[in-house]
Structure 1
Amino acid sequence: MTEWVVLDIEGTLSATDQVLVVLYDYARPRLGPWIDEHGDDPVVAEAVRQIRELSGVDGGTADLVRVLHGWMDADQKVTPLKTLQGLIWQRGYAEGDLVAEFFPDVVPALRKWHEDGVRLAVFSSGSVAGQVAFFGHTRDGDLRGLFEHHFDTVNAGPKREAPSYRAIAAVLGSDDITFYSDVPAELHAAAEAGWRTVGVARPGEPYGDADFSPHRTVSAL
């Protein structure tokens, strides 16, 4: 038993294609209209400022969208991109355009942990807003009540750096934490921060054949 289980999403709970194909394809044509229609939203305005700062682009919306699409094509975990995607996905889930799907073993495991008193949290590169929408609109119903905390690269830090995991532990108020991820570099960072770690090597996923040593490795939760 462990007090906390912290979970990655992409490749761990849900197929990578759910994000890189379904969600990315949904967000891609909506980025420009979202920027134009929500320019007065402080969150969107800050994202636009960050895009300009990081890219050096000072043109209009079309130029910003080209930068965003380039980041998406490279699957770069850039904060303003994740912010805008999360807002778009949040609406998509709310309107029924999107429904989250998990690997078959995931929801039973989440519910069993919760029933056994294990406290659950998420650490994903996707924004907190996107995470909450994701778990609120699934084929298994609203799962938001299973999780006590959500962390992303904004409120915690990069997923491959140990200080991010130390920051999460401070919020959780515990050093009894187990992290599940399909990415060995993330597991290394969590272990450096003193967490227990479990590699999730799912067949067919990008890291399914990766070297997870020295971490305990499973093919399902």
Structure 2
Amino acid sequence: MIEISADVILLDIEGTTSSIDFVHDVMFPFARKRVPGFVASNWDSPELNGCIELLSEDLGKESVAAWLSGNAESNQQSVIDAVVDMIDNDVKATGLKQLQGIIWKSGFHSGELVAHLYKDTAPALERWKDAGLDLRIYSSGSIAAQKLFFGHSVAGDLLHLFSANYDTTTGPKKEAESYHRIAADIGVDADQIVFVSDVPAELDAAAEAGFQTVLSLRPGNAVVENADDYQQIESFEQLLVAPNQLS
């Protein structure tokens, strides 16, 4: 059991609130299968064009025009190939996450996708919220995708429990500056925020920024060789957080 005094709980998603397997074995294949059709049918849409702008930056291209200089068919295939390759390699790229979120939207709204949560997640969120804690999400998935996820979960719509969401538009999760930005956005001292994640490099970056940190050890997560260097939990039932200033 870990007892912490803090005002804000910042949560990762996969491997923390939800199974990595659901994201990789259900959500990623759902998007991957639909990428070609989505790109072809939405080629001239502002929504897709915005994603392509971001993808161009993610890929280090000088510009969209420099990247996509062929005819419509070849340009579409270039985008499809790039997106599929990113999905297959689990690249944490803003453009990819934006595009995946758009595709997932149809799946969540139709009921084809229902977000997995560990059985202790929803009760813990309710308990922390009732205690006066400020709950927020920081994930590499786009904010839109995060809201779809928690709005269509196995425990129902949980969006009312969260004050805000952050994604890679705030900054990379393995860089301390991203956590400085989050603390500034919330308006509390960094040590009043506890960040829970299954990725040690993310916890290290958060700790460098002054956050309290907790390592999530869930079934199916990657083995952490130096897990003993961190406060750790296997369930949110093991995490007791008491609010200080914001209660």
TM-score by length of 1: 0.93
**Size of the alignment, in residue pairs?**
219
Query: Residues of 1 paired with 2:138 and 2:99: CA distance?
Result: 18
Residues 95-114 of structure 1: matches in 2 within 5 Å? 95-114=110-129
2:200 is aligned, of 184, 187, 196, to 184
1:89 aligns with 2:93: no
Aligned partner of 2:26 in structure 1 is 22
Supply the distance in 1 between the matched residues of 2:120 and 2:225 (Cα, whole angstroms). Answer: 21
- In 2, distance between residues paired with 1:43 and 1:166? 30
Structure 1, unaligned runs of 5 or more: none
Higher relative contact order (CA 8 A, sep 6+): 2
How far residue 40 of structure 1 moved from its aligned partner, in angstroms, is 4.1
Task: Check if 1:158 corresponds to 2:162.
Answer: no
Instruction: Give the match for residue 169 of structure 1.
Output: 183
88-97 or 120-129, larger mean C-alpha shift: 88-97
Instruction: Give runs of aligned pairs for residues 23-38 of structure 1, distance below 5 A.
Output: 23-38=27-42
More divergent stretch after superposition (44-53 vs 101-110): 44-53
Deviations 1:126-150 (A, max 9, x none): 0000000000011111000000100
Aligned to 1:116: 131
**Structure 2 CA distance for aligned equivalents of residues 46 and 118 of structure 1:** 35
User: How far 1:179 sits from its partner (Å)?
Assistant: 0.2
Contact 1:179 1:197 survives alignment (8 Å): yes
Larger Rg: 2
Q: Deviations over 1:159-214 (max 9, x none)?
A: 000000011111111121000000000000000001000001123322x4442353
* Matching of residue 195 in structure 1 with residue 211 in structure 2: yes
Residue 160 of structure 2: which of 123, 145, 152 is its match? 145
- Provide structure 2 residue ranges, at least 5 long, that are not aligned to the other structure: 62-66, 69-73, 237-247
1:80 is matched with 95
CA distance in structure 2 between the aligned counterparts of 1:170 and 1:197, rounded to whole angstroms:
18
User: Does structure 1 residue 39 correspond to structure 2 residue 39?
Assistant: no
Kindly state the Cα deviation for residue 33 of structure 1 after the two structures are TM-superposed: 2.2
Q: Is the 8 A contact 1:55 1:67 kept in 2?
A: no
